[in-house]
């Protein structure tokens, strides 16, 4: 395990009957880095993220975060140790016309620990805590570019902006590791370029990032390291230009055009 490793995945596997969805996958996410997981459809990418974040229980393997075993943790407790994530499908709260600000504030739930009596009567410490969260929520909305939508019901937003709300809510948890599952899915070229800049900005602010993504231009642009899966197995790992020129990756996923399609960073 690297001395810089924030997240360490060792021999992680998941079987559904005879189907081996993930097979003995090992890799690290070093502190301050962006790691992308790529591979063809059905390669086990999202399953791998679900194992790491305890949405699914692994058949075998180990996952450590800051040298702490998290394999037996409940999903809801991962945010307390510094892990936050988004999903392939946008998951926002629409009840009672909930707006953007209210959705962002949901992301602070684990930080709000005042007792019911204090909350009902809004004692001084409670009011201070609420004010701090509100200020931080506006900072996050400004960072991801949706502050002007603060009072807009999320159901009225365009898809790309809904993605940004979900990202903002994940950032409200103040993660050390942000896990993103196909964050550019459904975005147009302009939105994808803007999203690429945003991911770099978040990373430069001190958040390490692990993402699954199919958009190769985005992956090659932002990644410090890429892990490639095929049929549930890791077939390659390395810097973008190394993966781009790996014969096994070209054959399994990128195709021959990849040899000249991307410029490694």
Task: Tell me the per-residue pLDDT of 29-43, one tens digit each, with 9 for 90 and over.
Answer: 999 999 999 999 999
In this predicted structure, the answer to whether residue 169 has a pLDDT above a threshold of 70 is yes
Q: Do 186 and 87 meet the contact criterion of CB atoms below 8 Å apart?
A: no
Non-local CB neighbours of 155 within 8 Å, separated by 6+ positions: 92, 94, 97
Architecture of domain 1-82+175-265: 3-Layer(aba) Sandwich (3.40)
**Paired tokens of 170:** 């994940």
- The DSSP output letter for 97 is G
- Look at residue 87 in the predicted model and tell me its pLDDT: 85
Between CA 236 and CA 228 the distance in angstroms is 5
Global pTM exceeds 0.85: yes
pLDDT (tens digit, 9 = 90+) per residue, 200-209? 999 999 999 9
Alpha carbon distances (Å) from 168 to 3, 140, 171, 177: 30, 6, 5, 14
Between CA 56 and CA 25 the distance in angstroms is 15
Span 186-201, mean pLDDT?
93
Going from N- to C-terminal start, the domains of the chain cover 1-82+175-265, 95-174
Counting residues of the chain whose pLDDT is more than 90, the rounded percentage is 72
Measure the CA dihedral 48/50/56/62, to 10°.
50
- Look at residue 254 in the predicted model and tell me its pLDDT: 73
- Look at residue 152 in the predicted model and tell me its pLDDT: 96
Q: Quickly tell me which residue has 């049929």 as its tokens.
A: 231
Higher-pLDDT residue of 127 and 101 is 101
Phi-psi sector, 236: left (phi>0), alpha (psi -120 to 50), beta: beta
């Amino acid at each position: 395990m690297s001395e810089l490793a924030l997240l360490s995945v060792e021999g992680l596997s998941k079987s559904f009957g005879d189907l081996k969805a993930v097979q003995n996958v090992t890799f690290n996410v070093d502190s301050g880095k962006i790691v992308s997981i790529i591979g063809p459809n059905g390669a086990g990418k999202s399953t791998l993220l679900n194992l790491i974040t305890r949405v699914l229980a692994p058949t075998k393997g180990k996952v450590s975060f800051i040298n702490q075993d998290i394999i037996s943790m409940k999903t809801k407790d991962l945010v307390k140790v510094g892990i936050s994530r988004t999903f392939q499908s946008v998951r926002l709260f629409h009840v009672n016309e909930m707006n953007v600000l209210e959705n962002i504030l949901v992301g602070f739930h684990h930080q709000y620990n005042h007792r019911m009596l204090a909350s009902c009567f809004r004692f001084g410490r409670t009011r201070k805590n609420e004010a701090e969260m509100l200020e931080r929520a506006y900072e996050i909305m400004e960072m991801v570019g949706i502050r002007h939508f603060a009072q807009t019901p999320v159901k009225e937003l365009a898809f790309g902006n809904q993605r940004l709300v979900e990202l903002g809510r994940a950032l409200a948890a103040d993660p050390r590791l942000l896990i993103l599952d196909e964050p550019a899915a459904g975005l147009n070229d302009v939105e994808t370029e803007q999203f690429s800049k945003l991911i770099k900005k978040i990373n430069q602010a001190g958040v390490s990032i692990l993402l699954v993504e199919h958009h190769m231009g985005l992956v090659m642009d932002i990644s410090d390291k890429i892990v490639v899966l095929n049929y549930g197995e890791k077939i390659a790992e390395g810097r973008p230009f190394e993966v781009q020129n790996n014969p096994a990756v070209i054959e399994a996923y990128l195709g021959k055009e990849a040899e000249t399609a991307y410029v490694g960073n």
